[in-house]
Structure 1
Amino acid sequence: MHKKKFVFLTHTYCNSVSTGIFVFLAVLIKAVGARDASKILHQNFLINIMKSPMKFFDTTPLGRLVNRFAKDVDIIDITIPATVHMWLHCLLHVISTVLVISISTPYFLLIIVPLLILYYFIQRFYVATSRQLKRLESISRSPIYSHFGETITGASTIRAFGQQQRFISESENKVDENQVSYYPSITSNRWLAIRLEFLGNLIVFFASLFAVLGRDNLSPGIVGLSISYALNVTQTLNWMVRMTCELETNIVAVERVKEYADTPTEAEWIVENNRPPKDWPTSGVVEFSDYKVRYREGLDLVLKGINCKVKSGEKIGIVGRTGAGKSSLTLALFRIIESAEGSISIDGINIAEIGLHDLRSKLTIIPQDPVLFSGSLRMNLDPFEEVTDDALWQALDHAHLKTFVNSLPTKLDHECSEGGENLSVGQRQLLCLARALLRKSKILILDEATAAIDLETDDLIQATIRTEFEDCTVLTIAHRLNTILDYTRIMVLDAGCVKEFDNPQELLKDESSLFYSMAKSAGLV
C-alpha cells in the first residue's frame, strides 16, 4: 500500500516538476533567447550584409543571400523554437517515466544504462550524417533561388529568343540536384526510426520481464503501472532522440546565418575624432596621389598610380576605352572600393581618414544605371523630407520633368513600382538628375548619366548642369564626346593610367593623341 502511494506521489511530483521546469525554460527561452539572442543575431546579420563591401556582393550569388534570409531565418524563428519546445517536453516526460518504472521495478536500473549507451551511439552516428546532408541540401537550394530570380528578371528576353524550355529544364535539373541531397536525409531518418523502435521495444520487454520475475513482491497495480508507462515511454523516447537530432541538424541554419553575421564590413560610418567641418568641401579641389586600387585581394590593379589634381570649379571629362578604369575612379571617390596604395584628398582632407557617411553625404553622383525605390516620387526625390514642395517642382523643372509629373493624376504622390519599372529609363535618369539638383553638393560625378537619353534631352541636361553646377567641380565619364568638348580639361585613361590630361582643344591639335583618335572615330574631327 505504501509502495503504491509512493509511486503515485513520485509520478505526480515528477510530472509537476517537469511541467514547472518546462514552463520556466519556455519563459526563459522566450524572454532571453527569442528577444535577445535571436534578435541580436538577426540584427547583426542584416546590418553586416547592408554594410558589406561591394566585393562581397561581387562574389556572393544572390540566391545564396535569399536562401539565408528566407529558409535559414525561417528555421531559426519557427522550426528551432518548436523543436526545443518538443525536446524539453519529451526529455522531462522520459525522466519522470523512467523514475516511476525504476521505483516500481528496481531491477530495471540494471538494463537502462546499457540501453541509454546504445541510444547515445545511434544518435551520434545519425547526427553526424544528417548534419552533413543538411549542409549539402542547404547549399544546393541556393542555385534554385538564383536561377528562378534570373528567369523572372529576364522573362521577356527568354521569350523573345524562344528559350523557355531550356530554362525550365535547367530549373528542373537544379531541383533534382537538391533532391539528391534531400532524399538521403529522409532515408537516414527512416534508418534512425527502425533502430529507435527496436530499442524502445527492448524497454517494454525488460520492464515486462522484471515485472513478471518480481511478481511475488509486486502487486498487480504496480505491475500494470510499470508496463503501461513502459509502453508510453517508447514513443516519447523515440521522439526525444528524433528531436535531439532534428535540433542539431537545424543548428546548421544558425551556423550559416552567423557566418554572414560575422563577415567583414566597410569602414566606420562616422569617425567621431576625425570629422570634417560641416561646410566641407568648400572649394571642391580633388587630388589623387599615386592612387592604386583593386576590386579585391588577389586581383590585378585597376588603377595604377593615378597622379592628378582637379582645381575648384573645373569641369573634367573622363574618357577611355572599355576597361580603362573610368568607373573605378568614381567608385574610389565614394570609397566603394578601398585604396591599395596612395590617397585621395578633397580640400586637403584625406578621404580615407574620415567616416563613410561624412564622405558620401557630401558627394553627389548620377549613376549609369538609375536607381529608384518603391514609393512616391516625393520620397525618391527627397527621402529625408528636407526640402519644400516648391524646391521639388523647381528641381523637376530644371530636369525637364515638370510637365510629365504635372500630367500625372497624383503628381508628386505618384507611386513608383519596384526599381521604377513603371517609368522609362530616360525618366528615371532625369529623376536622378533632379535628386542631384536638390542636394547641391560641391562635387558632382556623372557616370555616363546620359547614355540612355536621346540627343535632344541630353543637350538640355548638359545645359542644366552647366548652369546649375557652374560653381561646382564636375567629373563626367563621357558617353558622347561632343558633350565634353567645352569642358575645362579632358582626362584620358588607358589600362588604369592617366595617359593625357589637358584642355580638349590642345588634345585635338595633336593628331597622335589618344583623344584625337577617339574623336575621329566618333566623327567629330
Structure 2
Amino acid sequence: TLTFRAGISRLSAEAVSRIYDETTYRTSRLPMGFYDQNPAGRVMTRFTSDYNNIFRIFGGPLAEFIGLGFDLFAMTVLITVASPWLLPLWLLQALLNYGVYRFYLGSLRRERREMALKRSPGISHFAETTAGASTIRAFGRESMFQRRFSHLNDEYLEQRMRATTVFVRFSLGMTLATAFVLLLTGVASIALVSRGLLTVGAVGVAFAYLGLSSTILQSFFEWLGQFEEALTGLERMNEYLRLPLEDGAKLPAGAKFPTGHQREDNTSFGLEKNPGPSGGAAVEVRDLWMRYRADLPPILRGINLRIRAGERLAVVGRTGSGKTSLVQALYRLYPAERGTILVNGKEAATAAGGTEDLRAYRREMAYITQEATLFLGTIRENLIGPGEDILSSEVENAKRDAPLVQALRRVQFLREEATDQEYEYWLD
C-alpha cells in the first residue's frame, strides 16, 4: 500500500508540474491584446490559486482517493461473501450517499468558481497599488486604496464562507444518509430478532460492517467533492492551454500537449544584414494599419517609411500619436491589420500574419522600452538576458561599462575589477 501510494503521488506530482510548464509555455506566447483585456489578478490566480488547488488534490491525496476506492471494492466483496443479506443495505447506503453528492454537485462547482472570480480583483488591486505606491503616497490617497482592498477582500471572504457552508451542508447530508440507513437497520433487526430470524451476533456484525462502510463511503464522496475544486482549476488552466498564440509564435520543441499549436524546429529566420555605414538592416513599411482591438479605431493609418541600413530616424509626435504603436508594430507585439513590413526586402509581417519564426525575427532586433524593468535573477541575466553562454568582446565591454554596473560599484556591491562570478550575484 505504501509503495502504491508513493508511486501514485509521484506520478501525480509530475503530471501537475507538466500542466504548469505547458501552461507557462503558452501564456508567455499569447497576444499582447490578451494582457490588455485580462486583469493581472486573473492571470495570477491561474498560477496561484487554481494551480495550488490542482496540486493540493492531485499531488498526493489522489492516492488516498484511489485507496478509498479499493477499500470500497474490498468491502463490497467481503459483505457479498460473508453476509449476503447485508448487501441490499450496503447498496442503499451507497445510493443515498451518491444522491447527496449529485444534489450538491452543482452548488459546489458554482460557489468555487465564484470564489476564484472574487479572488482575482483583490490580487489585481494589490499589484496595482504596489506598482503605483509612490504616486499614491505623493497624493495622500493611501486610505482610499486601503478601503478598496478591504472591500474586495471582504467580498472574497464572504464568498469563501458561502462555499464552505455548501461543503458543510454536503457533509451533513452524507451523515444524515448514513444515520437513516443505520436507523432502518436497527428497526429491521429488532423485528427479525424478535421472530428468531436473526441472531444478536448477526445484528452486531451488521452494525459493524455498516459503520465501517459508512466511514469509507462518506470519506470517498467528500474527497470526490473536493476534487470538484481541483477540476474547476483544471478546466480554467485548460482554457489557457488552448488559447491561440500570437501570429508567428511557436511552442518549444519540448512542449508535449497536443493543442494544435506550432512547435519550434532547428530552422531560423535570418534578416541577412546588409553592411551599411555602421552595419544594420534596411527596413521598409508600406501602408501599415494597426489597431489594438477590433472594436477600437486604428492607431496607425497608412504608415509608409523607409530606413536605410545604418540610418538613424527619429519619430516625433505628441502623446497618443502612435510613436510607441509604430515600434510595437515593427516588433510585431501587435498584429498589423493591413500593410507590409520589409526587412532587407524580405517580408516580416503582414495583415494575415507571417509564417516565419517570430522568436528568431525578434532576436535580430533591439528594443529599449521607456520603462526599465529589473528582473529577479543575477546581474549577468539582467544585463544580457538568461541563457547566453558565450559573450562577444563587445558585450563584455558593454556589460562592464553599463550604468547598472557603475551604480553597483558606487554602493560597493561590485569591485572596480569585477569577476565573472560576481556578475552571478542575485538581485532582490
For the aligned pair, the TM-score class normalised by the smaller chain equals: 0.7 to 0.9
Equivalent-residue separation in structure 2 for 1:404 and 1:304 (angstroms): 42
Indicate if the aligned counterparts of 1:104 and 1:223 stay in contact, CA closer than 8 A: no
Unmatched segments (≥5 aa) in structure 1: 1-18, 419-525
3-state DSSP of counterpart to 1:318: coil
CA distance 1:232–1:253, change in 2 (3 Å): same
1:73 Cα offset (Å): 1.0
What is the aligned-residue RMSD (CA, Å)?
A: 3.0
Would you say 1:321 and 2:318 are equivalent positions?
yes
Contact 2:9–2:62 under 8 Å retained in 1: no
Q: For 2:325 and 2:30, locate their aligned partners in 1 and report how far apart those are by CA, in whole Å.
A: 18
Classify 1:111/1:100 alpha carbon distance in 2 versus 1 (closer, same or farther; 3 Å). same
Q: 2:391 aligns with which of 387, 390, 402?
A: 387
Contact 1:207 1:230 in 2 (8 A): no
Change in 2 beyond 3 A, CA 1:88/1:210? farther
Q: Alpha-carbon deviation of 1:55?
A: 1.0
| SS of match in other structure, 1:320 | coil
- Matched with 1:297 is 294
Q: How far is 1:164 from its partner?
A: 2.5
Gaps of 5+ in 2: 251-262
Offset of residue 57 of structure 1: 1.2
Change (3 A) 1:230 1:379: closer
Q: Cα offset for 1:140? A: 0.3
* Residue identity matched to 1:134: R
> 2:221 matched to which residue of 1?
241
> 2-side partners of 1:183 and 1:406: how far apart?
53
Q: How many residue pairs are counted as aligned between the two chains?
A: 395
1:255 Cα offset (Å) = 0.9
Letter in 2 for 1:355: D
Do 1:101 and 1:207's aligned partners in 2 also have CA atoms closer than 8 Å? no
From 5, 21, 30, the counterpart of 1:52: 30
| Paired residues of 1:101 and 1:230 also in contact (CA < 8 A) | no
Q: Any conservation in 1 of the 2:13–2:58 contact (CA below 8 Å)? A: no
Sort the Cα spacing of 1:406 and 1:224 in 2 relative to 1 into closer, same or farther, 3 A. Answer: closer
Helix, strand or coil for the counterpart of 1:249? Answer: helix
Give the strand-richer structure, 1 or 2.
Answer: 1
The one-character-per-residue Cα deviations of 1:252-308 (angstroms, maximum 9, x if unpaired) are 011111111222212235876974447435452111111111223332211111122
- Is residue 63 of structure 2 the alignment partner of residue 70 of structure 1? no
Question: Partner of 1:280: helix, strand, or coil?
Answer: coil
Note if contact 2:122-2:152 (Cα within 8 Å) is conserved in structure 1: yes
Cα separation, 1, equivalents of 2:379 and 2:266: 37
Give TM-score scaled by structure 1 length.
0.67
Percent identity, please: 26
Contact 2:288–2:304, Cα closer than 8 Å, also in 1:
yes
Answer yes or no: is the 8 Å Cα contact 1:331–1:337 preserved in 2: yes
Q: Indicate how the Cα distance of structure 1 residues 321 and 124 shifts in structure 2: closer, same or farther if over 3 A, else same.
A: same
CA contact (8 A) 1:200 1:237 kept: no
SS of residue matched to 1:363: coil
Q: Which residue of 1 aligns with 2:74?
A: 96
Structure 1 residue 343: Cα displacement: 0.8
Which letter maps to 2:125?
Answer: H
Q: Is the 8 A contact 1:127 1:249 kept in 2?
A: no
Alpha-carbon distance in structure 2 between the residues aligned to 1:392 and 1:286: 28
TM-score of the pair, normalised by structure 2 = 0.81
Alignment match, 2:368: 366
Residue pair 2:109, 2:229 contacting (<8 A) in 1 also: yes
Select 2:237's aligned residue among 257, 272, 279: 257
Give the counterpart of 2:39 among 52, 57, 61. 61
Q: What do the CA deviations read for 1:404-450 (whole angstroms, capped 9, x no partner)?
A: 565444245365745xxxxxxxxxxxxxxxxxxxxxxxxxxxxxxxx
- 1:280 counterpart = 2:259: no
The residue aligned with 2:257 is: none
Indicate if the aligned counterparts of 1:345 and 1:351 stay in contact, CA closer than 8 A: yes
CA drift at 1:372 = 3.0
Deviations 1:91-139 (A, max 9, x none): 3334433444455553433444444333322211201111000000011
Query: How far apart, in 2, do the equivalents of 1:104 and 1:201 lie?
Result: 23
